[in-house]
Structure 1
């Protein structure tokens, strides 16, 4: 499991470097699908990761307005703030945690229970999904996307 988080974070850092090669206007440009822009897609995966992890830990969720994210530095700063919290949670994850569930109350006051293991799988696949959208958008603007090939990667 930790390897998949390391994989996602490595890919994320490479996308940050990729983003440094294009203008802020291009990063914020409205696009079809995902969260509507490159910068918002990157922010969204980080935000969702911290929301789920903080809920599983029982710690306060960081509330940030996606519409106030105005540049790549905002996203990188948020990633640097949240990644250590996730890393600590994952490193302390034990077999007892696998038996735990997260109870989530929806806007219409219904509750749903999710096993921690399923939440973690969701966090991992969610970022992979949105990274795929970045790859499509990069090709649309004529740039080569970051390679997300797992098999040939060395994880930190």
Structure 2
């Protein structure tokens, strides 16, 4: 199962690279532009939200590590965003190595609001990557609203 999840994450990385390469064609001021249609969030704040969710679900909740969250004010350009995702990749690597033989193990998770739920590392892995794809779609939509023509950033693309 470990090899399968590692391969799946490599597909996520390929799609993420396509997204970041596309974002390189977007002006920095547009990457930072809050959009009312997205609760006054920007493309960069959406990307940083996803990076922080990886930290919350994989690192803090499942592996019980105390890593600081990424701060939006420190990520005001695509280079800083890419660097943050480099850290996310290290967290994912640690996560997959840690749970190589116990991806189905049920773990009690406490959310920031104090509520609790029980999930397996496999479920959390799936949640984290699908969450990224959800927000990737939002980023593409945001760019369209700003007048750009999005490219294909799916796992299967030309």
* SS of alignment partner, residue 147 of structure 1: coil
Alignment of 1:68-87 (within 5 A): 68-87=74-93
* TM-score, structure 1 as length reference: 0.82
Alignment TM-score, normalising by the size of structure 2:
0.81
Find the aligned partners of 1:83 and 1:9 in 2 and give their Cα distance: 9
Tell me, in whole angstroms, the C-alpha distance in 2 between the residues paired with 1:5 and 1:82: 12
Structure 1 residues 66 and 35: CA distance shift in structure 2, 3 A: farther
State which of 41, 45, 52 in structure 2 corresponds to 1:36: 41
- Identify unmatched segments of 5+ residues in structure 2: none
Which one of 25, 28, 36 corresponds to residue 24 of structure 1?
28
For residues 93 and 146 of structure 1, do their structure 2 counterparts lie closer, same or farther at Cα, with a shift above 3 Å needed?
Answer: farther
Alpha-carbon contact 2:55-2:69 (below 8 Å) kept: no
Question: How many residue pairs are counted as aligned between the two chains?
Answer: 152
**Which residue among 134, 137, 144 is the counterpart of 2:139?**
134
**Partner SS for 1:113:** strand
CA RMSD after TM alignment = 2.3
Residue 60 of structure 1: SS of its match in structure 2?
A: coil
Q: Which runs of 4+ in 1 moved over 6 A?
A: none
SS of the residue corresponding to residue 96 of structure 1 reads: coil
Separation of aligned partners in 1, 2:31 and 2:136: 14
Gaps of 5+ in 1: none
